[in-house]
Amino acid sequence: MRISRRLFIRDGVATVTLALTAPPFLSDIARAQGIRSRSLVVVYLGGGNDALNTLVAYRDPFYYSRRPTIAIAAGEVLQVGADASGKALGLHPRLGGLLDLFNEGRLALVQRVGYANSSRSHFEGTDIWGTANPLSSTGSGWLGRYFDTLPRPLDALAAWNTTSETPRALLSAQGGVPSIPNGSTYRFASPNRGQVVTLERAAAQTMAANAAVDRPHLAFLNAASRGALETLDRVTQATQYTPTIAYPGGGFGVALRTVAGAIVRGVGSRVFWVQTGGYDTHSQQGGGAGGAYGGLMATLGDGLRAFYNDLRNQGLANDTTVLVFSEFGRRISENGSQGTDHGAAGLMMALGGMVRGGLYGTAASLAPGDPTLENNSGDVRHETDFRSVYARVLDNWLGVNSVPILGGDFRAGAPAIF
């Protein structure tokens, strides 16, 4: 493992903090003692983000000729300088929140991330990003395998999925990531009131404690019940959090605020999963700052900006990294309905107090025939293997050896985002 001694110790402590089936607020104690636990917040842009309109190569004439109605004018982009290949780049005009973070050096933009023969299926593509294996869309996920490396028993809240379906990335051999889309309904409900509810909860706990050794399927269900009952109070703590600043409304803002509450209250979750959808922009995606895509960008940028500022106000920005991805990028040329179809390589972002901000990788040249393109120059060819970004996160942020988790050494060529 190429991890400094300092980092190793720091993460060793954090891992122990997490891995115990902790009494609810052990991590509060840990924090009071100056021991910090790191969090990874994965943000999935569902539907295939049009990366070329997120980070715009606004001096590429083919960007404008191939996107006559949906391009963003050079005068409108939020300039972020030029990448290593000299391409001048600018963020989508509705990403003002992210521009600030970029200028503060806390936002890394990794261009042209993907894999060979990129799947054009939402299902398969999302699953491949989950398994971290371009040849297989089934089996456990990269974060699930990370959990498998932690000592047993794993805390039931080690991961917190804010969507209703468990994403493949979180599937582990051990199973059981709590899905908590709405903290306010993640509570013990009863048809009764007062003391009777306490009695009911005690009865439910006793019932779920039944080992049922002769009926493994019943034991499995009891484990799910126990996981819920054990985590209820900590989740309630997180949802009662009052943020230091206002979050934008909508599902994405609510999810990020809940995640911030969980981090600030120290519930012990190591990985959070957040999703925001609507990126499958086959038609009427809009040009310039407007349209459907402009709305998506505003939701993303404003939400992340609020989240980062809130955690910074709480003194926790250095303990948190946000990783943003989508299952694929989109076609370079717009289609007949002022939208874009499923494409190949896309954009990843990393955001956090310990992130080394800046532009990573090089933008594609959109001139037909250019070697940075593929599929008859219809798509952007990947430059950075997505697994190398995962490797960097695992090795340098979560503090585990990425090689067994990813089934190979993908450190070479990884962007130095930490």
Partner 1 sequence: MSRLDPLIDHLLRRAGFGASQPDVDVFSRMSFGQAVAYLIDYEGRPDDVDARIGRPDHAQVTTRDIFAPDTDINEARQRWLFRMIHTRRPLQEKMALFWHNHFATAYSKLAGDAGAIQATKMMALRPGTLRGPRGQIELFREYALGSFRDLLIEVARDPAMLVWLDGQTNTRRKPQENFGREVMELFTVGVGQHTEQDVYAAARVFTGWNLRRSEGNRRDDVQAYREFFYNAEQHDTDAKPFSFPIYAHGGRTIPERSESQGMQDGVDLLTALAYHPETARRLARKFWNFFVSEIHPPDAAFIEAVAGVYLQNDTRIRPVVHYILSSPWFTDPSTRYARYSSPVEFVVRAVKEVGWQDLSLGTLLTPLVNMGLQLFEPPDVGGWPLGAGWFSTGTMLARANFAATLAANQRAHLVASLDEDERTSQALVETMLDRLTPAPFDAGPRQALGSYVQAIGSAGSSAAQVDARAAGLARLIVGSSEYQLL
Q: Write the single-letter amino acid at 205.
A: Q
Which helix (DSSP H) or strand (DSSP E) does residue 4 occupy?
none
Q: Does 164 bind partner 1 (CB under 8 A)?
A: yes
Q: In sequence order, what DSSP letters do the residues of 79-130 get, joined into one string?
A: EEEE-TT--EEEE-TT-HHHHHHHHTT-EEEEEEEE-TT----HHHHHHHHH
- Measure the CA–CA gap between 392 and 323, rounded to whole angstroms: 11
Residue range at the interface with partner 1 (CB under 8 A); choices 34-42, 170-178, 298-306, 375-383: 170-178
Interaction of residue 156 with partner 1, rule CB under 8 A: yes
Task: Kindly state the tokens that stand for 93.
Answer: 């005009």
Part of the chain binding partner 1 (CB under 8 A), chosen from 73-81, 103-111, 200-208, 288-296: 200-208
Burial degree of 197 (CB within 10 A; 0-12, 13-18, 19+): middle
State the CB neighbour count (10 A cutoff) for residue 61: 9
Mask for 73-112, x = binds partner 1 (CB under 8 A):
----------------------------------------
**Residue 264 contacts partner 1 per CB under 8 A:** no
Find out whether 53 and 296 touch, Cβ atoms under 8 Å.
no
Query: Is 199 near partner 1 (CB under 8 A)?
Result: yes
Q: How far is the CB of 324 from partner 1 (least distance, A)?
A: 23
Closest CB to partner 1 among residues 336, 369:
336
Which CB sits closer to partner 1, 201 or 356? 201
Strand partners, 321: 40, 352
Q: Which two tokens stand for residue 55?
A: 């980070």
Among 22, 43, 110, 228, interactor with partner 1 by CB under 8 A:
228
Instruction: Quickly list H helices, 314-357.
Output: none
Q: Which residues contact 193 (CB under 8 A, 6 or more apart)?
A: none
340 binds partner 1 (CB under 8 A): no
Q: Which of 24, 46, 96, 181 binds partner 1 (CB under 8 A)?
A: 181
Measured from the CB atom, the residue of 227 and 415 that comes closer to partner 1 is: 227
**Interface with partner 1: number of residues (CB under 8 A):** 44
Selected binder of partner 1 within 222, 313, 335, 375 (CB under 8 A): 222
185 touching partner 1, by CB under 8 A: yes
- Residue 110: what are its φ and ψ, rounded to 5°? -105, 115
Please tell me whether residue 218 binds partner 1 under the rule CB under 8 A.
yes
Q: For residue 71, give the 3-state DSSP assignment.
A: coil
Closest approach, Cβ 274 to partner 1, in A, equals: 15
Q: Does 135 bind partner 1 (CB under 8 A)?
A: no
Q: How far is Cα 254 from Cα 261, in angstroms, rounded to an integer?
A: 10
User: SS3 of 379, please?
Assistant: strand
- Using the rule CB under 8 A, is 203 a contact of partner 1? yes
In the bound state with partner 1, the residue whose beta carbon lies nearer, of 103 and 192, is 192
| Residue 231 within binding range of partner 1, rule CB under 8 A | yes
236 part of the interface to partner 1, by CB under 8 A: no
The whole-angstrom separation of Cα 225 and Cα 212 is 13
- The footprint of partner 1 (CB under 8 A) covers 123, 156, 161, 164-166, 176-181, 185-192, 196, 199-200, 202-204, 206-210, 212, 215, 217-218, 220-222, 224-225, 227-228, 231-232
